[in-house]
């Protein structure tokens, strides 16, 4: 998602108390709970867009700390404006490229990662930029707690098939996998719709979702060996 240039968006982001300033980001690893002032679990959404999902989640779960990450100021601006209308103490934002995610969160500091309707980057040569790619899974592996998990939703079947194929080589396995989330009453319990989910499900597109954890048994040993 890229919005047309919004005059002053960079300045608003730079001056917002809801956004961690770029010069402070390098001091964040291992200190998120201190920043929130409590010991609550930490959930993050990467590529949050205008922030509808994470704002709703933070409102529904005051016992959890949330961090929303977005690359573009023009898009993040909408999330900041939402916070100005309804401030939540357990939600903060980062304007950054998720390629540097493991420089902003410490080893095993994040309990859950949400990827919602990530950009598909359809050209093969751009596959490393896809947020559920094995390159990104390796970054998530560094910041997630031992029993942390990743939830990914999309209506883009090609991207979802790619994401599923990445799991085994990267040492992850699916606990939940559906090609039609909205047809599954049990999985829909507590489901918070994102902006893209509302738009594409209204057009009749089925929504795919997985929930993944690190692989078990010998696969896990193999990954541990590779990490050494
Ligand atoms: N998650 C929202 C939803 O489901 O409605 C927005 C989906 S939109 C298609 C994807 C968003 O991810 C865009 O706002 C884009 O700028 C952001 N994004 C893509 N790659 C990113 C990256 N490497 N780091 C941070 N944000 C990224």
- Nearest atom of ligand 1 to the alpha carbon of 197: 4
Distance 49 CA to ligand 1 centre (A): 5
Distance 133 CA to ligand 1 centre (A): 14
- The C-alpha atoms of residue 71 and residue 35 are separated, in whole angstroms, by 21
The CB-based long-range contact list for 9-16 (8 Å cut-off, 24+ gap) reads 9/73, 9/74, 9/76, 9/77, 10/73, 12/73, 12/77, 12/80, 13/73, 13/76, 13/77, 13/80, 13/95, 16/80, 16/93
- Nearest atom of ligand 1 to the alpha carbon of 99: 23
Distance 204 CA to ligand 1 centre (A): 22
β strands within 3-81, DSSP E? 42-46, 65-70
Q: Are 91 and 69 in contact (CB under 8 A)?
A: no
- Residues framing ligand 1 (Cβ under 6 A): 1, 46-49, 69-72, 75, 97-99, 116-119, 194-197
The pLDDT, as a whole number, for residue 227 is 45
The pLDDT, as a whole number, for residue 3 is 57
pLDDT tens, the chain, 228 aa long:
555 567 788 999 999 999 999 999 999 999 999 999 999 999 999 999 999 999 999 999 999 999 999 999 999 999 999 999 999 999 999 999 999 999 999 999 999 999 999 999 999 999 999 999 999 999 999 999 999 999 999 999 999 999 999 999 999 999 999 999 999 999 999 999 999 999 999 999 999 999 999 998 545 555 444 444
97 is catalytic: no
The pLDDT, as a whole number, for residue 216 is 83
Distance 218 CA to ligand 1 centre (A): 34
The residue whose C-alpha atom lies closest to atom 19 belonging to ligand 1 is 47
Domains of the chain: 29-227 (3.40.50.150)
- The C-alpha atoms of residue 144 and residue 121 are separated, in whole angstroms, by 25
Catalytic residue among 97, 119, 124, 184: 119
């Amino acid at each position: 998602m890229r919005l047309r240039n919004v005059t002053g968006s960079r300045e608003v982001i730079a001056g917002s108390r809801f956004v961690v300033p770029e010069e402070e980001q390098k001091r964040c690893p291992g200190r998120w709970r201190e920043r929130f002032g409590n010991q609550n679990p930490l959930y993050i959404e990467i590529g949050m867009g205008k922030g509808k999902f994470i704002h709703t989640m933070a409102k529904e779960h005051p016992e959890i700390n949330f961090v929303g990450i977005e690359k573009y100021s023009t898009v993040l601006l909408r999330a900041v404006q939402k916070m100005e209308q309804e401030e939540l103490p357990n939600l903060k934002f980062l304007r950054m490229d998720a390629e540097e995610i493991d420089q902003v969160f410490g080893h095993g500091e994040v309990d859950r990662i949400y990827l919602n309707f990530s950009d598909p980057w359809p050209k093969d040569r751009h596959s490393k930029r896809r947020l559920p790619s094995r390159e990104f899974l390796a970054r998530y592996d560094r910041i997630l707690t031992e029993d942390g998990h990743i939830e990914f939703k999309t209506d883009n079947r090609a991207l979802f098939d790619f994401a599923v194929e990445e799991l085994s080589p990267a040492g992850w396995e699916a606990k939940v996998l559906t090609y039609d989330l909205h047809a599954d009453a049990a999985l829909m319990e507590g489901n918070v719709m994102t902006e893209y989910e509302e738009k594409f499900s209204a057009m009749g597109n089925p929504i795919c979702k997985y929930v993944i954890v690190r692989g078990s048994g010998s696969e896990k040993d193999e990954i541990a060996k590779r990490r050494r």
